[in-house]
Amino acid sequence: MIEQEQAKILNSELNVVYKYLRKHGISHVDAQDIVQETAFKFLSYSDSIKSQNIRGWLIRVALNYHHDQYRKKKRIKLGFNDEHLKLLSKDLPEDLLLGNEKKEEIQATLARINPQYKELILLKYYWDLKYKDISILLDMKIDTVKTNLHRARNQFIKFYKEVKE
């Protein structure tokens, strides 16, 4: 009986994770795969999970899995036909170099800032998460997220200016 209640609780939490993923633009099929993988990891590691916030743990695992899958898909090389090459050739080499230079500056800056601040900046600006979502994922109060994000932005600006010079 207790296992059935735990299964119901896990199922409802996984439904929340699914809705969370769909809300952030992940396709139905991908969200189902991610939830299935998350459930498998939860069942595999349930004895060693220290977090009291199971929902936060499940969302974190789901997002990490999604990020890993995204990176793997990104590495797959796509074949280009002539139309693609014509579209790509419209970008001037100078523009491409400036874009790469800007990316390198941002990466160098992110490498220098506090790891907690780096995580907040990436969650907010790279993954476009709201304060509430970040507070759930990191198990923080929303005001703490806002304060730390403000500090993170200030530290980022300070180091970015140094990198630019």
Compute the distance between CA of residue 123 and CA of residue 137 in angstroms, rounded to an integer. 10
**Which among 113, 127, 126 is positioned nearest to 157, based on CA atoms?**
113
Which pLDDT value is given to residue 98? 65
Domain hosting residue 46, numbered range: 2-75
Q: Tens of pLDDT along 66-99?
A: 888 877 776 554 444 555 544 555 555 666 566 6
Say which CATH number the domain at 13 has: 1.10.1740
**Which among 14, 22, 118 is positioned nearest to 61, based on CA atoms?**
14
Say which CATH number the domain at 157 has: 1.10.10.10
Q: Which segments of the chain does DSSP mark as H helices, in order? A: 2-23, 28-45, 54-75, 82-89, 93-112, 115-121, 131-138, 142-164
Q: Tens of pLDDT along 91-107?
A: 556 665 666 778 888 88
Whether the CB-CB separation of 74 and 66 falls below 8 Å is answered with: no
Listed residues 75, 110, 132: the one ending a domain: 75
Please give the share of the chain, as a percent, with pLDDT higher than 70: 83
Which pLDDT value is given to residue 87? 52
Query: Do 96 and 150 sit in the same domain of this protein?
Result: yes
Which pLDDT value is given to residue 46? 79
Which pLDDT value is given to residue 147? 96
Query: Do 124 and 150 sit in the same domain of this protein?
Result: yes
* Number of domains observed in the structure of the chain: 2
- Give CA separation, 119 vs 15, 29, 116, 126, 152, in Å: 26, 27, 5, 10, 9
Which pLDDT value is given to residue 14? 92
Compute the distance between CA of residue 143 and CA of residue 106 in angstroms, rounded to an integer. 26
Q: Is 86 a domain residue?
A: no
Q: What is the distance of C-alpha 127 from the center of its chain?
A: 5
- Give CA separation, 39 vs 44, 52, 67, 137, in Å: 8, 17, 17, 17
Residues of the chain with pLDDT under 50: 1, 77-80, 85-86
* DSSP label of 78: P
pTM of the entire predicted model: 0.47
